[in-house]
A and B are shown apart, each in its own frame.
Chain A
């Protein structure tokens, strides 16, 4: 079975400060990892993904994520937060060679305070 944990329901950060949204996963096999963002009453927007290769993945809007195989983590980061980054963030995992579709985490609400 595959699973994703986002241990923080809510993250608050001051504008201009670095932000981190945490994600850990559990899979049998090589993982595919994704981050999505959702604004109120909207669909999800793709931010970035890790398939293989460089552990540091850069994505849209200045976000990046670091794949850490030993810690089974894929934390989302941004060096300087903007108020407009306030949204709901989802981590998702899939497994290479598996028929199982993506499994999503429960989401983390990020609030950037002006």
Chain B
């Protein structure tokens, strides 16, 4: 988990609320990613960013939003439009935006629970 921090570790949300998950990296990586993990489904890509001020939708972007105003930060907002947000959220980063053979480094994750 070194070099990537996620906060909070646990997050509880009431229905209809937006919440923001923090992801910070000090690895000087260009690319950053957000994944959602559900039991038995592996990791699914929500959004990714290859460079500051640019990001693309992944496979399950509906109900989520991101920003990339700084190289080291990639916050994820879970909006009220996300119908089933309870999951484990993982942030990752990798060295080169165009070098997809570089491994991704993962943060420790945030567990979001909707009450």
Q: How far is the CA of A9 from the CA of B41 in the complex (A)?
A: 10
Most A Cβ at <10 Å: residue of B35, B42, B90, B109: B42
Judge whether B33 and A46 touch: CB under 8 Å: no
Judge whether A102 and B109 touch: CB under 8 Å: no
Judge whether B100 and A101 touch: CB under 8 Å: yes
With A101-B33, A104-B42 already in contact, the answer to whether A43 and B4 are too (CB < 8 A) is yes
Q: How far is the CA of A27 from the CA of B40 in the complex (A)?
A: 22
Q: How far is the CA of A95 from the CA of B90 in the complex (A)?
A: 22
Most B Cβ at <10 Å: residue of A9, A32, A42, A102: A102
What residue of chain B has the Cβ atom nearest to residue A30's Cβ?
B101
Judge whether A44 and B45 touch: CB under 8 Å: no
Q: How far is the CA of A84 from the CA of B88 in the complex (A)?
A: 23
Q: How far is the CA of A42 from the CA of B107 in the complex (A)?
A: 8
Judge whether A46 and B103 touch: CB under 8 Å: yes
Q: How far is the CA of A85 from the CA of B49 in the complex (A)?
A: 33
Judge whether A98 and B100 touch: CB under 8 Å: yes
Judge whether B48 and A101 touch: CB under 8 Å: yes
User: Which residues of the other chain, A, contact B45 by a CB distance below 8 angstroms?
Assistant: 101-102
With A32-B100, A102-B100 already in contact, the answer to whether A41 and B41 are too (CB < 8 A) is no
Judge whether B101 and A101 touch: CB under 8 Å: no
User: Which residues of the other chain, A, contact B6 by a CB distance below 8 angstroms?
Assistant: 43
Judge whether A43 and B42 touch: CB under 8 Å: no
With A32-B100, A32-B101 already in contact, the answer to whether A43 and B108 are too (CB < 8 A) is yes
Q: List 20 A-B contacts (CB under 8 A).
A: A34-B103, A41-B109, A42-B108, A43-B6, A43-B107, A43-B109, A44-B90, A44-B92, A46-B105, A90-B42, A90-B43, A96-B101, A98-B100, A101-B58, A102-B45, A104-B44, A105-B42, A106-B42, A107-B40, A107-B42
A residues near B (Cβ < 8 Å) are 9, 32, 34, 36, 41-46, 49, 51, 90, 94-96, 98, 101-102, 104-107
